């Protein structure tokens, strides 16, 4: 099983997590910019953070055979803090970087006017830089927040196939499916989605335009939930091709729209592993 985690916050994880992820089949990931657990007090702290997403984390991931890309944005929660608003003027500098494959996370936390402004402006930046967009839906009033999100995306003029709407559940997936946007689900131990619920959604809505991620932030989370979801899919009657579509090809197709995604070395190493395993089993596949 090869896995591309399309939304995981490795800044909050340890090197042991990278090692376990590789063993579980993770070979590529995208780390979106997010809230660090306490308020940032200056634009300079964002500069240091964005630089780490483009330098330190790709280096750390590479030590464990995992290709690291990122998405850059002012996240919805901090869009409400006047000390952070100037970050919007800084974003073009980072959105031009090679390893940035999307604008994100953008969207809503509390659905304030400040979040409206930041969301619309960052959708415009995505259009200007020809990047896809990763959208965060609020944890409260999720249905209303998702409807509002889709309205803003339509108003932006961005093609829906260049937008993925994340943190979906049984209540919100239908409206996103109808919109033409990509659908994403964060799989958690206690909150959001779990593997069995995800399997039921995939049975109803199919595997196209579906992304499954672990998010794996500062709270109780698990960077191996993608692998557990793949196992649940197989146990639930999905084929290996279906699992590969959801856990690998869909993230490649979505972020590949940036023109910057590079998993060529990963594909080569996976081919080598496949051939090596084939030899070990007498070449019978």
Please write down the HEC assignment for all residues of 91-103. Answer: HHHHHCCCCEEEE
What pLDDT is attached to residue 7?
A: 97
3 beta partners: 26
* Residue 102, both tokens: 């999307």
- Beta strand extents in 39-144 (DSSP E only): 67-72, 100-107, 133-136
User: Per residue in 96-130, is it b (16+ CB within 10 Å) or e — as a string?
Assistant: eeebbbbbbbbbbbebeebbeebbebbbebbbebe
Return phi, psi of residue 105, to 5°.
Answer: -80, 135
Q: What sign has the CA pseudo-torsion 162, 152, 209, 255? A: positive
Strands 26-32 and 3-5: parallel
What pLDDT is attached to residue 275?
A: 41
What pLDDT is attached to residue 285?
A: 30
Strands 163-166 and 182-186: parallel
pLDDT by 10s per residue, the chain, length 285: 999 999 999 998 989 999 999 999 999 999 999 988 888 989 999 999 999 999 999 999 999 999 999 999 999 999 999 999 999 999 999 999 999 999 999 999 999 999 999 999 999 999 999 999 999 998 888 899 999 999 999 999 999 999 999 999 999 999 999 999 999 999 988 767 899 999 999 999 999 999 999 988 767 778 899 999 999 999 999 999 999 999 999 999 999 999 999 998 776 566 555 444 433 333 333
Rounded Cα–Cα distance for residues 74 and 96 (Å): 16
What pLDDT is attached to residue 99?
A: 96
What pLDDT is attached to residue 267?
A: 61
What pLDDT is attached to residue 249?
A: 98
Q: Which residue has the tokens 């009657």?
A: 237
What pLDDT is attached to residue 182?
A: 98
């Amino acid at each position: 099983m090869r896995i591309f985690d399309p939304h995981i916050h490795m800044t909050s994880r340890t090197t042991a997590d990278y090692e376990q992820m590789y063993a579980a089949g993770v070979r590529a990931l995208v780390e979106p910019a997010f809230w660090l657990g306490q308020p940032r007090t200056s634009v300079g702290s964002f500069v240091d953070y964005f630089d780490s997403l483009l330098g330190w984390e790709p280096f750390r991931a590479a030590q464990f055979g995992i290709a690291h890309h990122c998405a850059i944005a002012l996240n919805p929660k901090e869009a409400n803090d006047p000390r952070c608003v100037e970050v919007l003027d800084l974003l073009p500098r980072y959105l031009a970087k090679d390893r940035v494959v999307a604008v994100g996370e953008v969207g809503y936390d509390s659905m304030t006017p400040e979040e409206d402004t930041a969301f619309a402006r960052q959708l415009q930046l995505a259009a200007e830089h020809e990047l896809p967009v990763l959208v965060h839906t609020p944890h409260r009033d999720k249905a209303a927040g998702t409807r509002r999100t889709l309205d803003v995306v339509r108003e932006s003029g961005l093609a829906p196939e260049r937008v993925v709407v994340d943190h979906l559940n049984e209540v919100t997936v239908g409206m996103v499916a109808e919109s033409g946007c990509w659908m994403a689900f964060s799989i958690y131990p206690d909150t959001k989605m779990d593997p069995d619920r995800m399997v039921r959604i995939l049975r109803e809505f199919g595997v196209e335009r579906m992304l499954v991620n672990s998010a794996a932030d500062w709270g109780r989370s698990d960077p191996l939930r993608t692998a557990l979801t793949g196992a649940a899919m197989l146990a639930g009657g999905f084929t290996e091709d279906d699992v590969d579509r959801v856990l690998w090809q869909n993230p490649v197709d979505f972020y590949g729209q940036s023109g910057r995604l590079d998993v060529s070395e990963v594909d080569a190493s996976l081919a080598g592993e496949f051939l090596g395993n084939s030899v070990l089993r007498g070449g019978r596949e």
